A and B are shown apart, each in its own frame.
Chain A
Amino acid sequence: MRSADDWLALLQTVPDPEIPVLNVVEMGIVRGVDTTDSAVDVRITPTYMGCPAMDAIADDIRATLSPFAKEESKELRVELVYAPAWTTDWLSEEAKAKLEAYGIAPPGKTTDKRALSGDAPSVRCPKCKSNATELVSLFGSTACKAHYRCNDCAEPFDHFKCI
């Protein structure tokens, strides 16, 4: 019989549908796994309340885990929870490094109050690593990203919104 950690390891093989370089555990979307004699309970939380990928994520988790649940004759349940709220602090340093390598500038710390007042610290271009970048729009290609441009290499890029 698999332990909760074993199930978590399986969840680490489920990529985020919008940012496939990270898995759903690294994204901080998976909030916990419990296992009993008869069931496996996975709790997930949205990055944004209206994130349209949540249904796809729940489906992907079911598709990946259900053969293993069936093997152990367990019911698989995926539950949506809102607390504790997801923030960008749920991304590990390793996950942030993967984001940058993928071309998305990772978020800073939310404890930095400047993130909300608009005087956000400079965002580093994921391509040429220059700090001479500027905000194009607070909103970008998905609910969790803002749109920036680099003034040195002239590349537009996504920045993971810091909330």
Chain B
Amino acid sequence: MNARFEYLLRLGDDALILGQQLGLWTGHGPVLEEDIALTNIGLDQVGQARAWLTLAGKAEGAGRDEDKLAYFRDQSGFRNALLCERPNGHFGDTIVRQFLFDAYAVCLHAALSGSSDAEMAAIARKSAKESAYHLRHSRAWMVRLGDGTEESHTKVQQSLNDLLPYAGDLFHSDAVTEQAAGEGWGADPAAFRPAWDTAVDEMCAEACLTRPESVPEQVGGREGRHTEQLSFLLAEMQVLPRTYPDAQW
């Protein structure tokens, strides 16, 4: 097993799949400003995905570049966490998914900023600035919706109940994360789960939301076991390059 390749795919696929989903909000945001915000965040995430997947291709050493990895893998080849492929749903669903991910990304990028691999550290340090800005946005919306009207509170509480079970996949530890952390070029997400838990708890307190106590965790994304949603998403994302493999923009 090429742990480095596997690990970089996880980083790249999380950003790619979430970025692609945020792009689907183009023209559908509840207000113009949010339309622009969600797609701006999506743009940052696709940018991060390009950098991680380029590195993944180098680690694999089989000549695959970012595009080959994004467009010519099937569902079982993707390594994104299940949370990232949850459907956009309504605005509250998208915001909860984003908050849970942003809080994770801030911890992840901080940890990877100290990577022994200079290229990984450089991408993480750059991404850290973006994820902090994204968290500021998604967290503000959590508070506004949670501590808003009765309807917004009820809806976003339901979104939180629905999505929390999928967040566990972000913290999945296995031989890959063990080697990544052991050799110093990556991080074991279990190490920063307490910080993430605190961030979620503090947000809940401020947003008048209740964090469900025992949550059954859904895992599998890191091993290529995905939900139905991902296949629809990939079909749309990959159709053009698969139909016209050497198409140039």
Contact = CB atoms under 8 A, between A and B. Distances in A.
Contacts of A139: 33, 36-37, 40-41, 137
Interface stretch (B1-9, B128-136, B152-160): B128-136
A-side interface mostly? loop
A46 B125 contact: no
Interface size class of B (residues with CB under 8 A): 20 to 34
B130 A138 contact: no
B153 to A, nearest CB: 21
Contact of A48 (B44, B122, B123, B125): B44
Contacts of B45: 50
Given A116-B136, A138-B136, A49 B122 contact: no
B133 A118 contact: no
A58 interface: no
Interface residues of A, number: 26
Contact of A143 (B40, B125, B136, B137): B40
Given A139-B40, A163-B133, A49 B33 contact: no
B125 A85 contact: yes
Counting chain B CB atoms within 10 Å of each CB, the highest count among A81, A118, A137, A147 belongs to A137
Interface string B95-122: 0000000000000000000000011011
B43 A82 contact: no
Contact of A85 (B129, B133, B137): B129
A1 interface: no
Interface of B: 19, 33-34, 36-37, 40-41, 43-48, 50-51, 118-119, 121-123, 125-127, 129-130, 132-133, 136-137, 140
Given A87-B129, A116-B133, 4 more contacts: A82-B51, A82-B122, A117-B136, A139-B40
| Cβ-closest 7 pairs across A and B | A50-B47, A49-B47, A83-B122, A137-B33, A50-B43, A139-B37, A82-B122
